[in-house]
Amino acid sequence: MKKLIWGLLIFGVMMQLPTLGQSDWQVKAFAGVSDAAFLGATLIGGPSVNVDRFQEYGVRLSWQGNSKWGMETGFTYSKATLLVETLWIPTGNPPPRPGSFTTIAPTPFEYISVPLLATYELVSFLSLQAGPLLGFQQSEYSSWMEQSGVGYLVGVNLQHYFDRLGVFLQPNFKQHAAIGFNQSNTRLTEFGLQLGVAYKLSSKRVN
């Protein structure tokens, strides 16, 4: 999957280089929510983590030439609450009655990512997008959950324009730190939905 994403991105860049000067440029702003989870190996006997209220906000700059290929990049800020669940087994001498307790500690999570996406227009209102995400975890936690690194995004873009002003909806799948900067065994994985507005800086193409 990662080789396919990188190949699509490189091909999209090559297709666009001759026509960047003739491109339509758009500025986008969006908000989104995701069903997110940490997937992968966890520490034996270590805490389990659930992701609650995952939200993201971002801006994008996109361009598309005379072909159906385009590019998109920008900046995304994400935040969530991690519910860290720890099993505590009492010990002592003499040992207490058999039993265990589960404690849940809400922990804030913040993340910044920069996408570099290739896009392909299927029809005037529908396009595909895919490419790598460069991500940086802003909140500190145990190293086995560190999510800074290079991930990827695959999604679709549904859009409608009223002259230069438009609205868009982007369902997507993201996995962060597929190539991690640290030795983390977990990957933050999202099924997300972004809703936003866009403005065409040029209007050579008619949707």
The model's pLDDT over 161-202, given as tens digits with 9 standing for 90+, comes to: 998 899 999 999 999 989 888 877 789 999 999 999 999 987
Closest alpha carbon to 34 in 200, 190, 205: 190
Check if the beta carbon of residue 71 is closer than 8 Å to that of residue 117: yes
The CATH code belonging to domain 2-200 is 2.40.160.20
pLDDT band at 5 (very low <50, low <70, confident <90, very high): very low
Residue 45 has a pLDDT of 55
Check if the beta carbon of residue 1 is closer than 8 Å to that of residue 109: no
Q: What percent of the chain has pLDDT over 90?
A: 49
What tokens appear for 115 in the block?
A: 């996408």
Note the Cα 106 to chain centre separation in Å: 22
Rounded mean pLDDT, 108-129: 94
- Residue type for position 85: E
Cα first-last separation, the chain = 31
Rounded mean pLDDT, 112-141: 92
In the predicted model, what is the mean pLDDT of the chain? 81
Rounded mean pLDDT, 148-152: 94
pLDDT at 204 over 90: no
- Residue 193 CA: distances (Å) to CA of 9, 126, 148: 22, 15, 22
Residue 185 has a pLDDT of 79
Closest alpha carbon to 203 in 25, 60, 67: 25
Give φ, ψ of 91 to 5 degrees.
-130, 170
- Residue 152 CA: distances (Å) to CA of 34, 36, 196: 15, 14, 21
